[in-house]
Chain A
Amino acid sequence: MSLLHLAIIAPFILAIFVPSLHKALPKIHTGWFLLPLPIVLFSYFLSFLPQIIRGETTMETLNWIPSLGINFSARVDGLGLLFSLLITGIGALVVLYSIYYLSKEKEKLNQFYVYLLLFMGAMLGVVLSDNMVVLYGFWELTSFSSFLLIGYWNHRERSRYGAQKSMLITVFGGLSMLGGMILLYLMTGTFSISETIAMAATIYGHELFIPALICILLGAFTKSAQFPFHIWLPDAMEAPTPVSAYLHSATMVKAGIYLVARLTPVFALSGLWVWLVAGFGILTLFWGSFSAVKHNDLKGILAYSTISQLGLIMSLLGLGAAAIHYPAVEAGFYTVAVSAAVFHLINHATFKGSLFMMVGIVDHETGTRDIRKLGGLMSIMPITFTIAVIGSFSMAGLPPFNGFLSKEMFFTGMIRAQEIGFFNMETLGLIFPIVAWVASVFTFLYSMIIVFKTFTGKYQPEKLEVKPHEAPLGMLISPIILVSLVVVIGLFPNIVAPLINSVMASILPSLVAEGMKFDVHIYHWHGFTPELFMTIGVIVVGILLYKFMPRWTGIYNRMPEKFSLNSAYDNGLAGIQKGANRFTNAYMTNSIRTYLLYIFTFLILSLGTTLIVKNAFVLDTANVANIHAFELVLVIIIAIGSVSILFVKSRMTSIILLGSVGYAVSLFYAIFRAPDLALTQLVIETVSVALFLLAFYHLPKVNKNEEHMRFKMGNAVISIGVGVVVSLIALSAHSSKAFDSISQYYIENTYKKAGGENMVNVILVDFRGFDTLFEIAVLAIAALGIFSLIKLRLTRGKEQG
């Protein structure tokens, strides 16, 4: 196991110890134990930076299931490194922030930090795995940890609702992504992402190419909250604010963007990819920014703003993919979209992270996030106000902050879209810059709302639950670090340029020849270009709209709630539950007899039909041993025993008879030299007879009168049917030798490979140990099931009595 694997697993390992640390040292806030880990990991990943900038990548492989091509291969390249730095860097800041945000007396910190660590490890796994199956596993784990974190305050109804919603939507996407990955595997024969990328040209045009593309995009769109799957993100804001800042703005929701960026080299040859990614991205951008304005909850505004910004990055990635169609020389013309996407990704993490933390501070210190109750906090919370101004102005795209630079690059990318000479971009490409501009106006608008409705205007202390004051220093450190980054990157954008170059090399690998590098330079001043006029336009129109807000916000009320996506989701969910209920009630009779009927009827039908359709019945008496007298005696005992069970009146007798049948069978095993089986059968019979005796108390008296003749006949038909089918199968199994018996292999290898002499047991613990492992797991689950069923009934009885 390499250091890189250890880095991915480290959060999981720490998570194991968190509960005991929390218990052992309750005086110290549990967050302090966590804080060193992301810092160490961040510095560890920073150490990769020089080699990544040189254009080298690192790959470490840990064998997992090599026979299926599933290995835990971790790969650090530009894209993976950027995300790892975001995850660990923002992670460290969020942990620090959470120490002051979550009270150690009131909150279940042990749970919170375990979930957070689960997420951190899973997210690192997602961005560093080179194997798709491993990536999928980590991907779902991020969904689970997000579910747990959203539902952290699980006594609130809205938290549970939001957690379930996010889980249903992202896991739906995750499963379809798995489908897409399997389709890719069918085309390429490998689960490795880097090998798949190398084969990109050969799979284009394959009939599974389009289905795979759509499945993968479903995964990416649900995770990154793209329209129409964005509805889970606003409800995810029920999570504690540190979680919103970390998972739902800086990292997890960018997993979809990561996936799109990672697989761009595979799919970018297709025009459908460009259109879908760019189209849904731009639609999300518009819809998110448009919807953000109508919200009164600060976190709600930020949620929609995150949705819209994710759409922005997505659309840039989509348009940038077009660059793959051009030779490297003129590529710079279109690759600007990709560099803008990467640049904005970094910027968004900084300004949105700080804004979320700012909202958390306001919420924490005033007791509300409702902008109708807030106002005039500027003089009371001056530092928080400064953070809000820098963060929001950067989001709005104002100079000199980093958001301005990436917004300009975004406009450039959008304007150049219409010059792409294919996929109907000549005609329809004009849509992109127009929608982008309109969305930017709304982005400007809600950024202003966040700052000015909260911090200026009339101070309304009577509406606040607590008397507001500036937050403690510890809470301010993290957002201050983030806004300093906003300013520093804004003033000296080229410090991140080498990283952007190497990230672009991973997104568009076919455009860099051996030893060549992308060369991005970010300028503040481009001259009087259309981009500049677009920005000026955004500011002017934005200010006008802000001034006259009450006059036009009525349009939001025109959209009836009934037709919204949210109510579609709610009704759909309710419908599914109702349907499932009805279906289940239709066949669940609460009688075990009925269920046995279902099982056995199905058995007869499926096996019997197969036997007939496949013409599988063979009878071959060539290789049959002689029948001895004692075998005959045993058969007679078994037959008499089983038949007489039907006619006895008392339960005790039937159990003893059943036991005798079992013991006779075990004698058969002994005769046919299977001592292990005989022993097992004997002991099982003993224990199960004891179990039956125990269960006696709970059974009603045997009452044979209640059964009608018809019922009895039906049962007889089914039981005879089962007997006939099983006998036929047993006979055919003996008679037909479709392939060589595997027993020779065991005979040869039991001693050589497993060092044992008892073949049965060696098969159990070694050759087929996997089966045994799961069998005992099933046993354990069954025991727990019985335990909980009976205990549940007992306590319920007590409550009622």
Chain B
Amino acid sequence: MKTNNVILETATKVILFIILLFSVYMFFAGHYEPGGGFIGGLMASGAIVLLLIAYDLKTVRKILPFDFKKVTALGLLFAAGTAAGGLFFDKPLLTHWFTYVYPPILGKMSLHTAVIFDTGVFLVVVGVTMTIIQTIGESE
């Protein structure tokens, strides 16, 4: 049932990277502008879904040979690890830490442990959506 969908395929090749980049931007912007791990993750999975529609499951599997269940697990590990991290410094669970650094050229930057936590959220969201879509899509 594979149809030849040249326009969509060509467009996808370009748009995919724009969406992915945008999702990464969204993810990092989270603390200061609209965005964050949840939106970023959803957007990244949206990009992959686009890929799925343009090509098919097998191709996507070839392009992204991850086991998305493991991506989910990794994400949970990130989040839970950050949450537990505070314990090692005699702080309650989920205590975040941040500081500001002033590298040359870039100017003021902030460093947050919340980003690691959010990375976990990002990975879980991508992992979960993709696991669901792949499992349902494969069960023909």
Which residues of A pack against B, CB within 8 Å? Answer: 1, 62-67, 675-676, 679-680, 683-684, 686-687, 690-691, 693-695, 697-698, 754-758, 760-762, 764-766, 769-770, 772-773, 776-777, 779-780, 782-784, 786-787, 790-791, 793-794
Using an 8 Å CB-CB cutoff, how does the interface string of B50-79 with A read, 1 for contact, 0 for none?
Answer: 001100000000000000010011011001
Interface pair B31/A790, CB less than 8 Å apart: no
Using an 8 Å CB-CB cutoff, how does the interface string of B24-57 with A read, 1 for contact, 0 for none?
Answer: 0010011111111111001101100100110000
Interface pair A679/B72, CB less than 8 Å apart: no
Q: Which chain B residue lies CB-closest to A757?
A: B32
**B8 part of interface (Cβ distance < 8 Å):** no
Interface pair B92/A766, CB less than 8 Å apart: no
Give me 4 other A-B pairs in contact (C-beta within 8 A), A754-B114, A758-B29, A765-B114 excluded. A684-B42, A756-B112, A765-B121, A780-B72
Q: Complex: how many Å from CA A62 to CA B136? A: 46
Interface pair A687/B96, CB less than 8 Å apart: no
Which residues of B pack against A, CB within 8 Å? Answer: 26, 29-39, 42-43, 45-46, 49, 52-53, 69, 72-73, 75-76, 79-80, 83, 87-88, 90-94, 96, 98, 100, 110, 112, 114, 117-118, 120-121, 124-125, 127-129, 131-133, 135-137, 139-140
Q: Complex: how many Å from CA A783 to CA B30? A: 25
Q: Complex: how many Å from CA A754 to CA B31? A: 9
Q: Whole-angstrom distance from the CB of B137 to the nearest CB of chain A? A: 5
Q: Complex: how many Å from CA A766 to CA B45? A: 24
Closest 9 CB pairs of A and B: A675-B34, A761-B36, A756-B31, A683-B42, A755-B98, A783-B128, A776-B124, A783-B131, A757-B32
Q: Complex: how many Å from CA A597 to CA B36? A: 36
Q: Which chain B residue lies CB-closest to A784?
A: B69
Q: Which chain B residue lies CB-closest to A755?
A: B98
Q: Complex: how many Å from CA A529 to CA B96? A: 69
Q: Complex: how many Å from CA A1 to CA B91? A: 11
Q: Complex: how many Å from CA A507 to CA B110? A: 55
**Partner pick for B32 among A683, A756, A769, CB 8 A cutoff:** A756
Q: Complex: how many Å from CA A63 to CA B45? A: 39
Would A676 and B34 be within 8 Å (CB), given that A683-B39, A780-B128, A783-B128 are in contact? Answer: yes
Interface pair B136/A691, CB less than 8 Å apart: yes
Offer 10 A-B interface pairs, CB within 8 angstroms, sorted by A.
Answer: A63-B90, A64-B92, A675-B34, A676-B36, A686-B46, A773-B79, A773-B83, A777-B76, A780-B75, A783-B127
A-chain residues with CB within 8 Å of residue B117 when the two chains form the complex: 765, 769, 772
* Chain A-chain B contacts (Cβ-Cβ < 8 Å), number: 161
B-chain residues with CB within 8 Å of residue A756 when the two chains form the complex: 31-32, 112, 114
The residue in A680, A684, A690 that gathers the most chain B C-beta atoms within 10 A of its C-beta is A690
Q: Which chain A residue lies CB-closest to B115?
A: A765
Interface pair A770/B45, CB less than 8 Å apart: no
Interface pair A697/B94, CB less than 8 Å apart: no
Q: Complex: how many Å from CA A783 to CA B41? A: 15
Q: Whole-angstrom distance from the CB of A178 to the nearest CB of chain B? A: 21
A-chain residues with CB within 8 Å of residue B94 when the two chains form the complex: 766, 769-770, 773
Q: Which chain B residue lies CB-closest to A72?
A: B87
Q: Whole-angstrom distance from the CB of B99 to the nearest CB of chain A? A: 8
Q: Which chain A residue lies CB-closest to B88?
A: A1
Interface pair A755/B110, CB less than 8 Å apart: yes
Q: Which chain A residue lies CB-closest to B79?
A: A773
Interface pair B98/A697, CB less than 8 Å apart: no
**Partner pick for A758 among B31, B72, B129, CB 8 A cutoff:** B31
**Partner pick for A690 among B37, B53, B120, CB 8 A cutoff:** B53
**Partner pick for A772 among B35, B73, B121, B132, CB 8 A cutoff:** B121
Q: Whole-angstrom distance from the CB of A684 to the nearest CB of chain B? A: 6
Interface pair B90/A794, CB less than 8 Å apart: no
Q: Complex: how many Å from CA A760 to CA B36? A: 9
Interface pair B32/A765, CB less than 8 Å apart: no
A-chain residues with CB within 8 Å of residue B26 when the two chains form the complex: 679
Q: Complex: how many Å from CA A679 to CA B42? A: 10
**Partner pick for A787 among B31, B33, B53, B69, CB 8 A cutoff:** B69
**Partner pick for A65 among B73, B76, B90, B92, CB 8 A cutoff:** B92
Interface pair A680/B38, CB less than 8 Å apart: yes
B-chain residues with CB within 8 Å of residue A766 when the two chains form the complex: 94, 96, 114
Interface pair A686/B49, CB less than 8 Å apart: yes
Q: Complex: how many Å from CA A676 to CA B37? A: 11
Q: Complex: how many Å from CA A688 to CA B127? A: 15
Interface pair B128/A779, CB less than 8 Å apart: yes
Q: Complex: how many Å from CA A784 to CA B120? A: 17
Q: Whole-angstrom distance from the CB of B104 to the nearest CB of chain A? A: 22
Q: Complex: how many Å from CA A769 to CA B80? A: 10
B-chain residues with CB within 8 Å of residue A793 when the two chains form the complex: 139
Q: Which chain A residue lies CB-closest to B139?
A: A790
Q: Whole-angstrom distance from the CB of B64 to the nearest CB of chain A? A: 16
Q: Whole-angstrom distance from the CB of B66 to the nearest CB of chain A? A: 14
Interface pair B35/A758, CB less than 8 Å apart: yes
Q: Complex: how many Å from CA A2 to CA B32? A: 38
Interface pair B31/A764, CB less than 8 Å apart: no
A-chain residues with CB within 8 Å of residue B127 when the two chains form the complex: 780, 783
Q: Complex: how many Å from CA A782 to CA B72? A: 11
Would A680 and B42 be within 8 Å (CB), given that A754-B114, A776-B79 are in contact? Answer: yes
**Partner pick for B43 among A683, A694, A782, A786, CB 8 A cutoff:** A683
**Partner pick for A66 among B46, B53, B92, CB 8 A cutoff:** B92
The residue in A65, A769, A782, A791 that gathers the most chain B C-beta atoms within 10 A of its C-beta is A769
